[in-house]
């Protein structure tokens, strides 16, 4: 158990809908990262937050947004869902930034039908 929690574990929804994925980092970690793993692609970095502020942005679509709240938990919002958004979404946390180990949560499996 990494200490990072993600909810829900599984999510099934229809195209065009909007969902919110939630991540709680390990106690004391200030950074939260979001990743997407699709069947046909490897692990893709989406976005990083550090202590409530956006730190780095990767291959995140405009239909997706994220935020980190004062209690340091983070939410990833996915809207206007498409079939291709079906993937495993991981959250990871670290104490600080670049040179710190990241601890991954168990992931949320999103299926868009």
- Residue 47 or 81 with smaller CB distance to another protein: 47
If the CB atoms of residues 13 and 44 are measured against another protein, the closer one turns out to be 44
Residues binding another protein (CB under 8 A): 2, 33, 42-45, 48, 56-59, 90, 92, 98-107
What CA–CA distance (Å, rounded) separates 10 from 21? Answer: 10
Residue 15 Cβ vs another protein, minimum distance, rounded to whole Å: 26
**Shortest distance, CB of residue 35 to another protein, whole angstroms?**
8
Minimum distance of another protein from residue 88's CB (angstroms): 9
Cβ distance to another protein smaller for residue 6 or 112: 6
Decide: helix, strand or coil at residue 77. Answer: strand
Give the long-range contacts of residues 95-98, CB within 8 A, separation 24 or more.
95/28, 95/29, 95/30, 95/31, 96/30, 96/31, 96/50, 97/31, 97/48, 97/50, 97/55
């Amino acid at each position: 158990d990494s200490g990072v929690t993600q909810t829900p574990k599984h999510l099934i929804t229809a195209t065009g809908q909007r969902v919110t994925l939630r991540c709680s980092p390990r106690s004391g970690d200030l950074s939260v990262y979001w990743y997407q793993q699709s069947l046909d692609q490897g692990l893709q970095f989406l976005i990083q937050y550090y202590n409530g502020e956006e730190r780095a942005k990767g291959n995140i679509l405009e239909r997706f947004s994220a935020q980190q709240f004062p209690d340091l938990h983070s939410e990833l919002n996915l809207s206007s869902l498409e079939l291709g958004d079906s993937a495993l979404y991981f959250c990871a946390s670290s104490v600080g930034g670049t040179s710190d180990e990241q601890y991954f949560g168990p992931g949320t499996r999103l299926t868009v039908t």
